[in-house]
Structure 1
Amino acid sequence: MSRLPDRLSRVVLSRIGEPGDPRLCGLVRDLGAGAVLDSLLAQASLDEAQRDLAARLGSVDPVRELEQAERLGIRFVVPGDTEWPARLDDLARPGAHHSGLGGVPVGLWLRGPCRLDGLPPMVAVVGSRSATTYGERVAADVSAGAARAGMVVISGAATGIDQAAHRGALAAGGTTVAVLACGPERAYPTAHRPLIDHIGATGLIVSEVPPGSAPLRSRFLGRNRLIAALSVGTVVVEAAVRSGALSSSRWAEVLNRVVMGVPGPVTSITSQGVHEQIRKGSMHLVTSGAEVLELVGAAGDHLVEVPRAPTRPRDRLDRRDQRVLDAVPVGRPAGADSIAVAAGVALQHVQGALERLASAGWVRRAEGGWRLARDEPVEQAAPLDLRSAGE
């Protein structure tokens, strides 16, 4: 197996190594996959971890691995390939480590018609597996908004927020990418087989481990760094203080991606981790897809309109009529001359204003003068033009 081509060497290392092993990833980056594999085969000057890797070498046939993957519709891409995403190279930067993990993957196993080099910018939407109805609805809404704007939603296909994010993007007619902690042909959780297969048929499944690999706990943490690295920003919807979803946001922060959080009810344990990160300033507070797009979209492309105070019917009165209205008493009626003095408006203007206000339902005549109507007038909706509605 010595001196295999780079791609085949990476297939072997992908099979025997673990995602996010900083030592292995660093050696491959510095020495090349072939040299690392030769060192393992020679078993010279190996530490205990490397001896464990070397012990697994005998069972790996890289050519057969690629042939089996191809039959499953799975391809293997490595650094230097056209499809290799440049964003993953940020994982090689100094300091790009978290929870003992780091490093550029030795390769990626992909299933689906979309290509990583042809996708629009991706936004990650992640969160608690024990999501509330509120959390799932918000995750779906945020994802749908991003998808409608032409972005790709990336998540981990887990229960709770992840699946809601994928479904929201698909419901909006968008593209979604699932990063798995198991082989790309597998479905975990198994109940999500229809969803994962649909993503594999219309979007893209990404995995750092080869076909047949089981979803080990440690692989979920390695998976989180890929989700963060592939995206331009990460949105966390519902995460407890020790939630794994915060691992994704931490990776996004380490990689200088935009980190966002959706607030939940202040009494919700499921949202405490998000609230804490927002309070610390580690997350931008967002409440909609539009606000996410404003932060991660191209400058000026998705600016959110500043909310305006609601417009009331009295706001449509001119300033003079408003002054007259303010001077009309609620209880005992007053004459036009008294109202003119209170409003500081000439009597002839007051008389005209009172007639207009009476016609609009703001005031009414009473014995001895004018008084306010009991209820503010209700603004009527414009009549529906059935002719234009049917066109």
Structure 2
Amino acid sequence: MPSRLSYVWLSLKRGLGTHTAAEALRTFGSAEALFAADRQALTAAPCELRKAAVDALCDKDTAEAEQVIRDCAEKNIQIITIGDSAYPDRLRAIDDPPTVLYVRGRWPDFDTVPAVAVVGTRKATPYGLKAADGIGTALARAGMITVSGMALGNDGAAHRGALRAGGLTVAVLAGGPDVCYPPQHRSLMGDILLTGAVISEYPPGTEPHGRNYHHRNRIISGLSVAAVIVEASDYRSGALITARHALDQGRDVYAVPGPIDAPQSQSCNELIAKGEAALLTGPTVLVREYSGMMPEQAVEQAYRRQTGDYPKPAARSAWEDIRRREAQAEQRRAAAEKAKTEPQTSAPAEKPLPEGLNQDETHIVTLVRDGVSTPEELIDRCGLPAPRVMSLVTMLEMDGILRREKGRLILGAW
């Protein structure tokens, strides 16, 4: 039996439950083995399947699964099973991973590039919308993936922030990947599909139901290294359910603080007070914390999306190095000749560096102050790995210490 068909067959077993399906897969090793197991083998399995589960697994009819696979082929929907190498390891490791993911758009490499979940209430305040947008923007500029649920309010703002910054964002739906909900986000869904992905564990055509949202939220946190709760009004909030899933899965949890009299910030403030979530003072915290997980090629791609400049790798051929040194020497000779012919004036005082910078940040700001104006030059001059340089530049721009003017780095105002 084809592997994909067996996984889709298993995922469609109603009443089996994600926990039971995951335990059965761990016991039998694969969906093919589970499909081949008879009633005796299923009953004797150490995962102790209940009679209803055994009855469901003894039904070997694959007609529905075959139809789902045909529908996906017609609608250009990719099927990623838990047995595929493209299935994210981080999601596979949770207690109840989805057996199948249905994917529209461009599937990012979650095992290589860190993702951060950004979720909140549908009844968002202007403060919350601005915060979610800023977080999505910062993550995109750093080359990370923003994951959310495409809901009204904070979720949509996080997606839009990532999209405006030219970054990757993934929406996890509670219905089929071809069913836009809410319908007001049809254009947002189209924008996400251009560069990112819309995913679901439910087959195409599935309408979203209330019971699906709880299951959907475990995927949002399961794909991510951390979850950020922007606003959440009460204990029934989907954002809080995502926070609980994240805590159970061992993910980092952050909460955006808000006014003590704002209903939408009540639960966030409580998460912080109880020590269940770290206080998020700004998007820079996330960039600093997780930029070390970024591979060099992802950092370079992020920078290309932002500026159109594609920094070359730090390692160059000997001939390129010779040409670069000759060009720099010629520039120095020209500058010296120019200085001889110009009247001598008192040199302006150098702008002092801002306080609180670490050694690497001080080195980069000093180089920019001295005239180094492109990421490529910074990588050449500072002796740091390219991913480290790109992350530091992004954080310094977010802090207002550096800014970009006509594609070149200059000092900001502080």
Match of 2:267 in 1: 273
- Paired with 2:355 and 2:91, the residues of 1 have a C-alpha distance of 34
From 57, 60, 63, the counterpart of 2:63? 60
- Paired amino acid for 1:10: Y
The answer on 1:214 being equivalent to 2:207 is yes
- Paired amino acid for 2:134: D
Q: TM-score, normalised by structure 2?
A: 0.64
How far the C-alpha of 1:252 sits from its partner, in A, is 1.6
Query: Aligned to 2:93, what secondary structure does the other structure show?
Result: helix
The answer on 1:223 being equivalent to 2:216 is yes
CA contact (8 A) 1:265 1:271 kept: yes
Query: Aligned to 1:77, what secondary structure does the other structure show?
Result: strand
The answer on 1:73 being equivalent to 2:76 is yes
- Paired amino acid for 1:273: S
How far the C-alpha of 1:270 sits from its partner, in A, is 1.2
How far the C-alpha of 1:39 sits from its partner, in A, is 5.5
How far the C-alpha of 1:64 sits from its partner, in A, is 3.2
Structure 2 unaligned runs (5+)? 44-48, 296-353, 358-414
Query: Aligned to 2:266, what secondary structure does the other structure show?
Result: helix
How far the C-alpha of 1:296 sits from its partner, in A, is 2.9
CA contact (8 A) 2:80 2:87 kept: yes
How far the C-alpha of 1:51 sits from its partner, in A, is 7.0
Sort the Cα spacing of 1:57 and 1:116 in 2 relative to 1 into closer, same or farther, 3 A.
Answer: farther
- Paired amino acid for 2:269: H
How far the C-alpha of 1:62 sits from its partner, in A, is 2.7
Aligned length: 293
How far the C-alpha of 1:79 sits from its partner, in A, is 2.7
Match of 2:25 in 1: 28
The answer on 1:174 being equivalent to 2:167 is yes
Query: What are the superposed Cα offsets for residues 54-102 of structure 1, whole Å, 9 maximum, x if unpaired?
Result: 698757343332222022111111234231111112214xxxxxxxxxx
CA contact (8 A) 2:39 2:58 kept: no
- Paired with 1:22 and 1:154, the residues of 2 have a C-alpha distance of 23
CA contact (8 A) 1:114 1:202 kept: no
Query: Aligned to 1:297, what secondary structure does the other structure show?
Result: helix
Match of 1:203 in 2: 196
Query: Aligned to 2:198, what secondary structure does the other structure show?
Result: strand
Match of 1:349 in 2: none
From 84, 90, 106, the counterpart of 1:87? 90
Query: What are the superposed Cα offsets for residues 242-281 of structure 1, whole Å, 9 maximum, x if unpaired?
Result: 1221111122222222110001111011111111110111
From 5, 8, 20, the counterpart of 1:8? 5
Match of 1:151 in 2: 144
Give the structure with the higher percent helix: 2
Give the alignment's Cα RMSD to 1 decimal.
Answer: 3.0
Query: What are the superposed Cα offsets for residues 355-390 of structure 1, whole Å, 9 maximum, x if unpaired?
Result: xxxxxxxxxxxxxxxxxxxxxxxxxxxxxxxxxxxx
How far the C-alpha of 1:299 sits from its partner, in A, is 8.0
- Paired with 1:59 and 1:209, the residues of 2 have a C-alpha distance of 17
- Paired with 1:282 and 1:39, the residues of 2 have a C-alpha distance of 43
Query: Aligned to 1:182, what secondary structure does the other structure show?
Result: coil
1:97-176 equivalences in 2 (<5 Å): 103-116=96-109, 120-176=113-169
Identity across matched positions, percent: 38
- Paired with 1:64 and 1:22, the residues of 2 have a C-alpha distance of 25
Query: Aligned to 2:232, what secondary structure does the other structure show?
Result: coil
The answer on 1:288 being equivalent to 2:282 is yes
CA contact (8 A) 1:157 1:192 kept: yes
Sort the Cα spacing of 1:142 and 1:204 in 2 relative to 1 into closer, same or farther, 3 A.
Answer: same
CA contact (8 A) 1:83 1:115 kept: no
CA contact (8 A) 2:90 2:111 kept: no
How far the C-alpha of 1:17 sits from its partner, in A, is 4.0
Larger of the two Rg values belongs to structure: 1
